[in-house]
Amino acid sequence: MSALDVPAPAKINLFLAVTGRRADGFHDLVSVAATLAWGDSISVRAQGAPFSVACDAPGIPTDGTNLVMKAARAFAEETGWTGGAHFSIAKRIPAGAGLGGASSDAVSALVALNALAGGPLDRAGLARIASGVGSDCALFLSAGPVVMRGRGERVESLAAPASRRIRGRRILVFKPAFAILTPWAYGRLDETAGSFVAASDAEGMLASWAAGDADAGKLLFNSMEPPAFAKFAALPLLLGTIRARFGMAAGMSGSGSACFALLPDDSDSGPVVAAIREAWGASAFVADTRIA
């Protein structure tokens, strides 16, 4: 095996409670996240050292700062592998969106590289490297909705009855022309008094939803919305319109700026898309997909 083509799915945060800032500068959280049936794709081709990366989207770094390169170097250090690989990213997930595009690319590249090298790492080894590359990377090794804790590196599958209320749900993802940088968003959160959710309260909210039979829309919560909404009024205005006009559960994913609405299976997304274009202009990104 000398080449592989692998998907790199986007993710959505249905529930994100930030419970505090850690001594290492990261934040503790409790989150329910799920990958989508839509995202980037990566072609991985073995080559003599070193590693290299290309991307079809402008503005995406292709040097050592790209998380794919960080994952590849970490893989080589962990396994002693002396080969190289070229990673070609077909970019569909917009940057600065809170959809995990860079992290997903890194994990998909890591899994493909492990396969090309003959599988020297088991799942635990892959998870260890993924967690070192990025806080939300480990979730992309899981199938189905997961609960993330710690800084995001502690990942466990959501219990089956609760997972069934999420998996396969149709979802409309949309993003304005502007991005929100994650460090800025968390910085604003830190500056806002009372912005953190007590860990016991976050676990209680999640446990209450998981133990019942409420729709996935009742789970939606995001600690990152208040700081984002305070600066970018276009986000809450449109989400309010979608909730009021169409009766759909909607929210922001991660630190933004991408938002989403849960669509009924038989609904026509056209009027919702038209409302998004009316509010945010023709440059707004929209994807009609499903939760994996």
DSSP letter (8 states) at residue 291: B
Q: What is the pTM of this model?
A: 0.94
Count how many Cα atoms sit within 13 Å of the Cα of residue 36 in the half-sphere of its side chain.
25
Look at residue 49 in the predicted model and tell me its pLDDT.
Answer: 78
**pLDDT above 70: percentage of residues in the chain:** 100
Using the Cα atoms of residue 117, residue 120, residue 124 and residue 125 in order, give the sign of their dihedral.
negative
pLDDT at 1 over 90: no
For 49-84, the pLDDT digits (tens) are 799 999 999 999 999 999 999 999 999 999 999 999
Confidence band (pLDDT; 50, 70, 90) for 2?
A: confident
Please report the pLDDT score of residue 48 as a whole number.
Answer: 84
pLDDT in tens, 201-244: 999 999 999 999 999 999 999 999 999 999 999 999 999 999 99
Instruction: Determine the Cα–Cα distance for residues 156 and 233; give it in Å rounded to an integer.
Output: 34
Q: Which residues contact 270 (CB under 8 A, 6 or more apart)?
A: none
Mean pLDDT of the chain: 95
- Residue owning tokens 């008094």: 193
Superfamily of domain 169-290 in the CATH hierarchy: GHMP kinase, C-terminal domain (3.30.70.890)
Residue from 55, 173, 40 nearest 105 by CA: 40
- The answer to whether 232 and 179 are in contact (CB under 8 A) is no
Helix (H, G, I), strand (E, B) or coil at 264: coil
- Cα separation, 158 vs 217, in Å, equals 16
Instruction: Give the Cβ contact number of residue 126 at 10 Å.
Output: 21
Q: Which residues are catalytic?
A: 11, 136
Could you tell me which residues are beta bridge partners of residue 19? none
Question: Rounded CA gap, 152 and 138, in Å?
Answer: 8
Q: Where are the domains of the chain?
A: 3-157, 169-290
How deeply is 104 buried, as exposed, middle or buried, from its count of CB atoms within 10 A (0-12, 13-18, 19+)? buried
Domains 3-157 and 169-290 share a fold: no
At residue 6 the predicted structure's pLDDT band, cuts being 50, 70 and 90, is very high
pLDDT surpasses 90 at 194:
no
Confidence bin at 110 (pLDDT 50/70/90): very high
Q: Looking at residues 243-253, what average pLDDT do you find?
A: 97
Question: Which of 3.30.230.10, 3.30.830.10, 3.20.20.70, 3.40.50.11890 is the CATH number of 3-157?
Answer: 3.30.230.10
- Indicate the pLDDT class of residue 150, thresholds 50, 70 and 90: very high
DSSP string, 227-243: HHHHH-THHHHHHHHHH
Flag the least confident range among 44-48, 71-75, 105-109, 237-241: 44-48
Nearest residue to 223 (alpha-carbon basis) of 253, 249, 262, 243: 253
How many Å apart are CA 242 and CA 273, to the nearest integer? 10
CA distances from 260 to 27, 113, 208, 272 (A): 24, 32, 23, 11
Q: Which residue has tokens 């991408």?
A: 258
Q: What is the mean pLDDT of residues 237-252?
A: 98
